[in-house]
């Protein structure tokens, strides 16, 4: 399985465009409809996608649902990645579910905490944070 494509990470309608190549100005756009459930024409399986695109879109316009977009991207990556983190060296990122628990303290009491482990693989120097070009 080769490295994940933009479509596998951001949805089937992701679009990239070079606006001013001389100025190195590039734009990438995603289509929120891709974050709907498969049954509704989106790309998210297991009925984990957006169920009401209009409401979700209005929340995004109000700048109140960025986390939903981030989570949708994580779900797309997880459903399209290799089955194990060591199965494909071409994939430079692997996201694994790390459990769910009920928070029993502080201001989040009663909320569910869903944990994920994100692994980034690079050929960079050990001990340093990998720069984007090294991934």
- Give yes or no for a contact between 110 and 102, defined as CB atoms under 8 angstroms apart: yes
Percent of the chain with pLDDT over 70: 90
pTM for the whole thing?
0.84
- Give yes or no for a contact between 18 and 4, defined as CB atoms under 8 angstroms apart: no
Q: What is the pLDDT of residues 97-135, one digit of tens each?
A: 999 999 888 888 889 999 999 998 887 667 677 777 777
Dmax (CA) of the chain: 55
When pLDDT is cut at 50, 70 and 90, the band that residue 18 belongs to is: low
């Amino acid at each position: 399985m080769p490295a994940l494509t933009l479509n596998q990470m951001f949805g089937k309608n992701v679009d990239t465009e070079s606006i001013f190549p001389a100025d190195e100005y590039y734009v990438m756009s995603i289509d929120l409809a891709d974050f709907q459930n498969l049954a509704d024409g989106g790309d998210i399986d297991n009925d984990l996608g957006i169920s009401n695109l209009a409401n979700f879109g209005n929340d995004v316009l109000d700048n109140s649902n960025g986390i939903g977009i981030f989570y949708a991207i994580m779900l797309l990556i997880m459903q399209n990645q290799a089955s194990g983190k060591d199965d494909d060296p071409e994939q430079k990122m692997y996201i694994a579910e790390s459990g769910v628990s009920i928070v029993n303290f502080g201001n989040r009491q009663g909320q569910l905490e869903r944990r994920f482990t994100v692994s980034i693989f690079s050929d960079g120097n050990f001990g340093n944070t990998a720069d984007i070009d090294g991934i």
